[in-house]
Amino acid sequence: MRGIAEEVSPELARHISSDTLLLLGLAFNLRNFHPDILFAVVVPYRLNEVIEIARNYPGVDWFEGKILAVTLTGERTELHGALAEDNWLPGGKASLMRTIEFLDAVRREHKIPFSAVIEKLARGNTDWIRS
């Protein structure tokens, strides 16, 4: 939760359960062989609420980036545009891509919409994913 507290908001981090933190993989930056652990976390707020919390209680490294949202349903033009931007840190981009792959795989396997996957993950129980 340190990254969320420092880069987004310590107030937001206080409201996130460690049960909703998902380790999705490991990536290596090939420029300097720096490893990045890829995580996803289910945040118990809507986008506008996250932005408001971050604005009112910013993390110490809040200046490093900004919160963006993309839709995972329908055409992915917005997502492709966001990923095409050149201001990404490799680990951040890898985390987003791996999270989308994970959510899409779970959605397809269980034949449920993205919203249902996220709602189930928000409950903090991941046992259903393996069944």
Beta bridge partners of 65: none
66 vs 22, more confident:
22
pLDDT tens digits, one per residue of 79-98: 888 889 888 888 889 999 99
Confidence of residue 31 (pLDDT cuts 50, 70, 90): confident
pLDDT tens digits, one per residue of 112-130: 999 899 889 888 878 888 7
Task: Specify the length of the chain in residues.
Answer: 131
pLDDT at residue 79, as a whole number = 87
pLDDT at residue 70, as a whole number = 81
pLDDT at residue 131, as a whole number = 61
SS3 113: coil
pLDDT at residue 129, as a whole number = 85
pLDDT tens digits, one per residue of 45-76: 989 999 999 999 999 987 767 787 888 777 78
Q: Write out the two tokens for 21.
A: 């933190």
Q: Could you tell me if 91 and 29 are in contact, meaning their C-beta atoms sit under 8 angstroms apart? A: yes
31 vs 37, more confident:
37
CA atoms 124, 23, 108, 85: torsion sign? positive
Rounded to two decimals, what is the model's pTM? 0.83
Average pLDDT over the chain reads: 88
pLDDT at residue 18, as a whole number = 87
Beta strand residue intervals within the chain, DSSP E: 21-29, 34-41
